[in-house]
């Protein structure tokens, strides 16, 4: 086996691990936001904007990883 034969496996891992990490990050972020808003309801509005910003950044990292994985799958930059 050479590196080209393992490319689909590498792309699958790249996209899958990015999806798992993004889901764990969004879940933790949402849980902590709910916990913080329950403890101090007056901070709910200032925290809400930060939560949406961080959720977008976390999803953006997953989308970038998916784009890189699909780029590798279609053009195969490692092919000599």
Write out the catalytic residue numbers: 59
Strand, helix or coil for residue 76: coil
Which of 31, 33, 35 has its CA nearest to residue 46?
A: 33
Provide CB contacts within 8 A for 29, sequence distance 6+. Answer: 51, 54, 55, 58
Cβ contact 66:18 at 8 Å: yes
């Amino acid at each position: 086996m050479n590196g080209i034969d393992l490319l689909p496996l590498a792309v699958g891992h790249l996209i899958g691990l990015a999806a798992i990490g993004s889901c764990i990050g969004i879940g933790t972020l949402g849980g902590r936001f709910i916990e913080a808003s329950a403890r101090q309801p007056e901070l709910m509005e200032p925290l809400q904007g930060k939560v949406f910003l961080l959720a977008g950044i976390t999803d953006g990292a997953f989308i970038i990883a998916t784009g890189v994985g699909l780029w590798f799958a279609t053009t195969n930059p490692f092919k000599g």
